Structure 1
Amino acid sequence: MWTIPNIITSFRIGLIPVFVFVYFLDWRWAHEIGAFIFWLAAVTDWFDGYLARKLKQTTPFGAFLDPVADKLIVAAALLMITHTYASVAITVPAVVLMLREIYVSALREWMGTKGQRDKVKVSVIGKWKTTVQMLALIGLLSGLQSFMGVPLYWVTLGHILLYVSAALSLWSMITYSISAWPSIRDGAK
């Protein structure tokens, strides 16, 4: 159970309270350091999956824990940016992203009970959504528009990418729903 990838995934879960605590410190660089911790968690998400495949250490526990870790840290980040920016322009796509995560998780769980989880396995669109979403959240969490006088426009880019990730999120949700539709229809009878 305690393979290297599972330890990395557990580390990612352990980063969540650190990330939230640091982000809300009354300190000049708190948001930037919080964004860095979130970035570190995002990198470990890629790294644990890579190691699980490379070292042949995939486990049922890891298959369960990895998406839970992802959803927990993303949910925390979405709550934090809605709090920080307190704007409809951030809140609406954040809510779309959260609703999609809950819906797709429930759909995958239900399809698993039907022995058809493969019909709603992670797709390329879902991977794009995750990548764009992580970049958006890093930009919005950091609050950086410039660094040492060099324009970065991270917040502006973060806003744009948040909407792109929300659109990809809806697209992937619809795609998963279409794949699952025959089972949903048959299950409703």
Structure 2
Amino acid sequence: MELSVNGRQRRAAQAVKNEPRAEKQPAGTGAAPKRTGSDKADWSQAALAFLREMDRQSMEEERKRLEAKRQKNGELEMLSKSLDVMEKCRKIASRIIKGDKVPPQDEQFLMEADPEGYKLALACRVPKEKPKEWESVLEEEEEDGSGRETAESMESAEAAESAGETTEC
């Protein structure tokens, strides 16, 4: 194996050239030496642009997650309202099927919210000698303090009907 003295000499000369530049600066400035090449600045700008792009992408992903979460909450709220309407319709329909008397506004609500369920309840009605007279399911809701409007209930019932939900006897 051959050792080259020239290679060692070149490296030593380069090290000596770089040392005096660092020593020539005044002792208290603490500033980094400026180089004639702009490689470091170019790399810094490229790195900064890359980091900004990564930050923008992460912010966009977070915004999408939050939007999806809000949409899920809206869907859950809509499904909850639809479930409330379906529960009221079920109570009214079961009272009609048993042959009991329900208030006219309950019958009207059932007819509007679930027309097929209303028809089915009338078809499956079993007559009673002494039918029980029920208070309105809708009034119970208002007394509990939730006070939802029937228009909102009908909208959620229409959404449920459009989803293909039906009641069978």
Q: How would you bin the TM-score normalised by the shorter chain?
A: under 0.3
TM-score w.r.t. the length of structure 1 is 0.21
Kindly indicate which of the two structures has a greater share of residues assigned to helix. Answer: 1
